[in-house]
Amino acid sequence: MSELNVKRLETRNGITGEVLTGGTGPALVYLHSAFGVQSTDRLLQKLAKHFTVHAPVWPGFGPDETETRIETMLDFTLHGWDLVDAMGLTKPIIVGHSMGGMIAAEMAATAPKDLSELVLIAPAGLWVDQCPVPDIFAMLPYELATSLFHDQELGEQLLTAGRNFNDNEALAEFMVNRARQMGTAGKILFPIPNRRLAQRLYRVAARTALIWGASDRLYPEVYRNEWRSLLPAAREIVIPDAGHMLPLERPSKLTKAILKALA
C-alpha cells in the first residue's frame, strides 16, 4: 500500500503546516488525536481507496514550531475551518478521532452548513463527573498502553512504533515529540477535557455517526451514552475487541465502520 503524499499549505492566518493527501472519491478531512498522524498510518491508506483523504498535521504535531496563535478552543475550531479553506474544499466529510473528534464536533457546531457528514471516533470534549477520564498527562510512557488499547502488548508496539524505551536516544525523541504534541493538546484537554462543547452540540446539523471501541478504557461506555444523548440523531457503531486508539489498533474494522456510517 502506498503512502500518502505530504503537501505544505498556508492558511489565511499565515499559519503553515503539512497535510497528508491521497486517494480518489469524495473529499474527507481526517483530524487526528493527541497522538498525531503519519503518512504510513494504515487507516488513511485504507480510506484513500474510497475517498480523497486530507489529513492535516495539527500545528505542534509536525516538524513546524508550536503555534502560539492557537490557544483557545475557538482558535482550534477556526483553524480547522481555515485548513478546510486552505485545502480548497467545499462541504467535505469531516472525520475526527479523540481530540480530533472534539475539534470536528466544534467545527460542526460552529458552521453547521459547511460540512456534508460528521464522523466522530471516540471523541474527547465531554466530562462526566461520575466517571473521570484517566489523566493521560500524568502517565509515564510505559503506562499509556493500558488506557489506550484493547490489546496492551500490541498497543505498546504501536505506540512506540518499534522504538525501544530502554534506549536513551529513542526515549529522548519520544519525550520531545510528546512534549510538543501533548503540550499542544493540553491547551484544550488539560486538566479536564471539557471546553463546554456540550452546550453547543445542539447546533450540529450534518448527518453524524459515533464510532466507538467496545473496550475503550479512556472514554468508556458512559461517554458514548453522553454523546448519544446530546446528538440523538447520530448513528452509533461499536467495534468489538477495540480500545480507544481505533485507528492504530483496528484500521480495517474502523474503515468498514466509516464506510457503513457514510453509506
Partner 1 sequence: MKFCWFNLMPWPDLPDDFRETNRSVWVDIDSKLFDPERANEVYHTYMDQLEYAEEVGFDGIGVNEHHQNGYGIMPSPNIIAAGLARRTSDAALCVIGNSIALYNPPIRVAEEFAMLDCISGGRLVAGFPVGTPMDTNFCYGQIPALTRDKYAEAHELIVRAWTEDEPFAFDGKYNQLRYVNCWPKPIQKPRPPVYIPGGGSIETWDFCLENDYNYSYLSFNGYKAGHALLERYWDRVSELDKDESPGRAAFAQIICVADSDAEAEELYAEHILYFFNRCLHVHPGFSDPPGYRTLKTIKAGKLDQLRKENQEIFQNLTWADLVERGYVIAGSPDTVREQMEHMIKTLRVGTVFCLMHMGDMPDWKVRYSTQLFGEKVMPQLKDMWPELEDDPRWWPRPQSNRVRHADSIAAARLPAEDPRPSSGTGLDINE
Query: Where does this chain bind partner 1 (CB under 8 A)?
Result: 66, 71, 137-143, 165-166, 168, 171-172, 175-176, 178-187, 190-192
Classify each residue of 207-231 as buried b or exposed e, where b means 16 or more C-beta atoms within 10 Å of its C-beta: bbbbbbbebbbbbbeebbebbeebb
Closest distance to partner 1 from the beta carbon of 253 (Å)? 30
Instruction: Write the CB contacts of 182 (distance below 8 Å, at least 6 apart in sequence).
Output: 34, 136, 137
Closest distance to partner 1 from the beta carbon of 138 (Å)? 4
User: Is the Cβ of residue 1 or residue 192 nearer to partner 1 in the bound state?
Assistant: 192
User: Is the Cβ of residue 1 or residue 172 nearer to partner 1 in the bound state?
Assistant: 172
Closest distance to partner 1 from the beta carbon of 239 (Å)? 28
Residue 73 to residue 239: CA distance in whole angstroms: 29
User: Is the Cβ of residue 138 or residue 263 nearer to partner 1 in the bound state?
Assistant: 138
**Residue (of 219, 154, 155) closest to 193 by Cα position:** 219
**Which residue carries 466544534 as its cell?**
106
Residue 6 to residue 8: CA distance in whole angstroms: 7
Residue 35 to residue 32: CA distance in whole angstroms: 7
Q: Residue 132, preceding bond cis, omega within 30 degrees? A: no
Closest distance to partner 1 from the beta carbon of 60 (Å)? 9
Contact 210, 227 (CB under 8 A): yes
Q: ∠ CA 166-218-80 to the nearest 5 degrees? A: 95
Closest distance to partner 1 from the beta carbon of 17 (Å)? 17
Closest distance to partner 1 from the beta carbon of 197 (Å)? 17
Closest distance to partner 1 from the beta carbon of 141 (Å)? 6
User: Is the Cβ of residue 26 or residue 186 nearer to partner 1 in the bound state?
Assistant: 186
Q: ∠ CA 52-54-59 to the nearest 5 degrees? A: 175
User: Is the Cβ of residue 91 or residue 178 nearer to partner 1 in the bound state?
Assistant: 178
Contact 106, 76 (CB under 8 A): yes
Would you say how long the chain is, in residues? 263
